[in-house]
Structure 1
Amino acid sequence: MVVQDGKIIALGSAQPRGEVIDLKGQTVLPGLIDNHTHPKYIADALHGAACTPPLVNNMAELKEALRHTPEYGKGRDVWIEGWGFDESKLAEHRSPTRDDLDEVSTTQPIFLYRSDCHSSVDNSRALELAGIDENTPDPVGGTIERDANGRPTGFMREVAASQLLIKAKSAISYENDVKNLVNSSTHYLQNGIIAIGEMMGRLNPYDSAKLYQDAYQRGFKPKATLHYVASEITKPFEIIRNAHMQVSGLKVFMDGSISGETALMKNTFVSGKKGVSLTSPEKLAEIIAYAKGHHLQVAVHAMGDKAIQTVIDVCQDLDPWLKDMPSVRIEHASLLSDEMLKQIKASKVGIAISTQPIFFFAEEDSYRTFLNPNQLKMVYRLKGLHDQHILFSLSSDAPCTPWAEPDSPFYSIYAAVTRKTSSVQTINPEEKLTLPQALLAYTRDAAKIGGFINNGTLTVGKDADFVVLDRDIFTVDAEALKEVKVQET
């Protein structure tokens, strides 16, 4: 492979010229692309506490993890952060409360993300800084949970409620946010990730595009695309597109999560719950019209089958409006029937799917507990997507799952190829991908969906972004896939 000025200019039998680097038979892949992740959250999580299995399994361990963050014991405006708890995986089988977190600190604010990154728990100091008390109304699309006396418990259910705390936290820590994002470069490159899709772009309390621009000036490395949360678009914004970053789309939330029993279902969860509807079909159509007028992609979070069906119904007969990427993509698409697969395949607009096998890998208990057998059979239909020739990618949604390494591509690839979970059980083994299929979903197809037109394959004319592995991924036993490491990016 001959590289000049960062581009691949020749392959195969070309004669070496200039500096020669001999990798001595090591395995090279195109740089991996995580086109659905949350880099701002990852940047926060890297210095926060991972409150996930196998590290944290009960409330005492959770509190101790928070006490061991670098921020613990600092000033009154220094936030202590944690991520990844799932009440079903804690020995107490309940969520933490403000009172639990107050045992860690009453002087410093504490923000603790649930595993789905939709909900959070906060201590009394954090609630005070966000101005939340007994009289604060619930935000549209979210709930401030309260006890029998109306006192907020600290649990902020769904994105709209958690965002009240995030705004309070970010308003006083912009420079820290830039520094954390720059420092996260090492994390991405160690995982072989050369491009990322930021799926929670914000305009308040500051513009996420400015965060990335300032981070690039200070050395942030991965390329990025940015999707703004559609519900925050109340005024025109600058659509930036350059070699490092492009504002490429709008993010829409149709429902919640499987593990939180808030995904919108055609039939109820085993518990009788049907999930939550966060965006009406009419509002989705309105957002799509805005996106078409501004040449933006629409990425729709839909986990429950009713939420996914709504997206299909609204979008399937539309003409595509983008050339370099799909105009509409469904994020997660956790439950897909045969009929829905056929409808997606036949869609005129060309619906693409960005899905995450790390969810069934890390959240098996929730899926088996909350879903009935027929629903479980529809979970993460990877081979179904491949067999229908639907464009799909694998991604992480990190850190939004209860696993200590949520955006390691090789855990996701392992789950896609083996259909095994963290407890070595198997879910829908007939939906296995082959290893090459899984790798293409993290490279070529992730580039197509995410709009990374200069990446995805190592071919002449593309950017020379590649990874060197510590072993030959094509010959290792499938059980060893999750142990593959990137030697160099």
Structure 2
Amino acid sequence: MKNWHLITYTGALLGLLLSSSAMAADLYHNFTGYTFSGKPGAEAQFSSFSVLVVEDGKVVAKGDKDLKQDYPEATLHNLYGRTLLPGLIDSHGHIQTLGENLMQVDLRGINNRTATVAKVANYADSHHELEWVIGRGWNQEIWPTREYPNRQDLDDVISDRPVWLTRVDAHAGWANSKALQLAGITADTEDPDGGQIIRDADGEPTGILIDAAMQLVQDIMPAITDEQRAEAVKLAQDHILQLGITHVLDAGVSAKGLENFRQMHAEGTLNLRVNAMISGSDPALTELLAEGVYRSEDDILRIGNVKLYGDGALGSRGARLIEPYTDDEENLGLLITPEEQVAKLFREVHEAGFQISYHAIGDYPNRLALDEFEKITANDDELTDLSAFRHRIEHAQIVQVKDIPRFKTLGIIPSMQPTHATSDMNMAEDRVGNERIAGAYAWRSFLDQGSIIAAGSDFPVELTNPFYGLHAAVTRQDRNNDPVEGWYPDQAMTFAEALRSFTLDAAYAAFMDDSIGTLEEGKWADFIVLDKDPMKLESKDLWRIKVLSTYIAGERVHHSPK
């Protein structure tokens, strides 16, 4: 009899525990969900489901409607026929810079110089309290003349205060005369290494500074305060979460920026998962590497990657090419980090056990990086490829066709941004010609050889919305459906490949695929609810998808009912 009571008591206790577990669960139903599972890359399995069970922030089960009966006490959440995806990952963005841009004059998309200047003037008139007038987003390539502006354009409307306007790609700046004066830039100022001061026929600075030359002005601008930095990050975080991005690899974070992320995490105000790449130009790099890779228990913050700087951008002709620009035959572009320093930095970062993320737009730094990665394998008799280290080349934008297979051979991940292709298609072939364009924005070439692409936006260079990236990846068109057949459509991705590059493959490229990137049992319940089913949409409409809700670890961090 005692044994019977013991069995009964034990069974009751087990039932109570199971019931408590079920009561603690959240069960989402009445939706169409899609996720990957298994290994990253082409071996990943794609499946659909209509019920998701979440407990303690993690996925405990998913399946069809029959799964509901296994969780009779769970809290039900009816999603009313919406679509559910894993939270999207941006593999290359700039969080603080995005936040700063949200606090400045936005010049993106303005298609002529006159309107650009007018918007700056109106902004200045509305902000008399500002010591400097700062903005970003101008792009002379979408203006009728496609010519750089000059300081006089700004002097005509603002001469009493310094003005500094960063080009959309952040690789060129436009200053008025007051800003040049404060920076001490004259006809006698020499071009710094890795930079160029654009000059007129008389040798006078025009106000356009390329790459490292931008620092001449930026060094004398008021430094951002800790309070402004925190405000910028919070503004950016809210913006990012609204768009369905749950994890960002922040490409180039200063020691101060890392400190801010740590503080926000400790305070519980960092709601977005951040994988911070240490800026390779930070004076504290060696000390930061000595601290080792950091990953918080809740996977909100990871620091294990270093952003190294290769060259400039294609639009400002700062990207470094092996042969001169097709539309500027005396120009090879610029290397931001001297070649001899690149080798030293690669060794230092690799030996410290951190990922290398090397910015390479032009074919020269892409080849340079591959050569340096090859030296790492050559110096280790047991190392045939670097797959285990998941080193990356950021952008991999203009690559010699014969260099593309080396990414796979060496185990290097191309971290690419689909909207770069559709933003650059109006000038890219002018810059590099019809032979080099064969290795440009070459997503299909990388995928067909088995490379894993980590996709992102490079916000705020491009707009943050990941559905713009998914659309560009699949269609090779802009959001006006141009060109009709797509720009070099043979390099397009399928939708499944594109989605994988923003989820599972992006997580793999961030050393986070064990906990995010898919909605598999045991992983964090990071997911988004959409107003449209991408599997049922025409490809041309993918960019129109809206995010209704965003969840991180089962907690709703954004909700828009419309």
Instruction: Note whether the superposition's TM-score is higher than 0.5.
Output: yes
Q: Which residue of 1 aligns with 2:456?
A: 395
Q: Which residue of 1 aligns with 2:269?
A: 219
In 1, the alpha carbon distance for the partners of 2:384 and 2:236 equals 34
* Aligned with 1:436 (options 475, 487, 496): 496
Unaligned runs of 5+ in 1: none
Q: How many residues align?
A: 476
* Structure 1 range deviating more: 335-344 or 473-482: 335-344
* Aligned with 1:342 (options 394, 399, 405): 405
Amino acid at match of 2:351: G
Alpha-carbon contact 1:255-1:304 (below 8 Å) kept: yes
SS at match of 2:287: coil
Alpha-carbon contact 1:229-1:250 (below 8 Å) kept: yes
Q: Which residue of 2 aligns with 1:330?
A: 393
Larger radius of gyration: 2
Give the Å deviation of 1:173. 3.6
SS at match of 1:185: helix
Structure 2 matches for 1:18-417, cutoff 5 A?
Answer: 18-53=74-109, 56-69=110-123, 72-77=126-131, 79-127=132-180, 130=183, 132=185, 137-147=190-200, 151-158=204-211, 160-169=212-221, 171-203=223-255, 207-216=256-265, 217=267, 219-233=269-283, 236-238=286-288, 239=291, 240-242=294-296, 243-271=299-327, 272=329, 273-316=331-374, 318-319=376-377, 326-347=389-410, 350-401=411-462, 406-417=463-474
Amino acid at match of 2:243: N
Give the Å deviation of 1:117. 0.9
Alpha-carbon contact 1:147-1:153 (below 8 Å) kept: yes
SS at match of 2:426: helix
In 2, the alpha carbon distance for the partners of 1:333 and 1:400 equals 16
Give the Å deviation of 1:106. 3.1
Alpha-carbon contact 1:455-1:462 (below 8 Å) kept: yes
Relative to structure 1, is the Cα distance of residues 128 and 65 closer, same or farther in structure 2, using a 3 angstrom cutoff? same
In 2, the alpha carbon distance for the partners of 1:368 and 1:300 equals 24
Relative to structure 1, is the Cα distance of residues 235 and 30 closer, same or farther in structure 2, using a 3 angstrom cutoff? closer
In 1, the alpha carbon distance for the partners of 2:210 and 2:220 equals 17
In 1, the alpha carbon distance for the partners of 2:384 and 2:222 equals 35
In 1, the alpha carbon distance for the partners of 2:220 and 2:234 equals 22
Relative to structure 1, is the Cα distance of residues 105 and 175 closer, same or farther in structure 2, using a 3 angstrom cutoff? farther
RMSD of aligned C-alpha atoms? 2.7
SS at match of 1:21: strand
Amino acid at match of 1:449: A
In 2, the alpha carbon distance for the partners of 1:61 and 1:265 equals 33
Amino acid at match of 1:435: F
Q: Percent identity?
A: 28
Provide the TM-score with structure 2 as the length reference.
0.78
Give the Å deviation of 1:291. 0.7
In 1, the alpha carbon distance for the partners of 2:148 and 2:334 equals 19
In 1, the alpha carbon distance for the partners of 2:96 and 2:279 equals 14
Alpha-carbon contact 1:66-1:72 (below 8 Å) kept: no
Unaligned runs of 5+ in 2: 1-51, 378-382, 551-562
Give CA deviations for 1:176-197 in whole Å, capped at 9, x if unaligned: 2211211222210111111111
Give CA deviations for 1:157-183 in whole Å, capped at 9, x if unaligned: 11x222344444451543222112112
Give CA deviations for 1:188-220 in whole Å, capped at 9, x if unaligned: 0111111111112224xxx22123234443734
* Structure 1 range deviating more: 126-135 or 227-236: 126-135
In 1, the alpha carbon distance for the partners of 2:443 and 2:365 equals 19
Give the Å deviation of 1:71. 8.4
SS at match of 2:469: helix
SS at match of 1:468: strand
Q: Which residue of 1 aligns with 2:547?
A: 486
Alpha-carbon contact 2:416-2:455 (below 8 Å) kept: yes
Alpha-carbon contact 1:182-1:215 (below 8 Å) kept: no
Relative to structure 1, is the Cα distance of residues 435 and 290 closer, same or farther in structure 2, using a 3 angstrom cutoff? same
Give the Å deviation of 1:144. 3.3
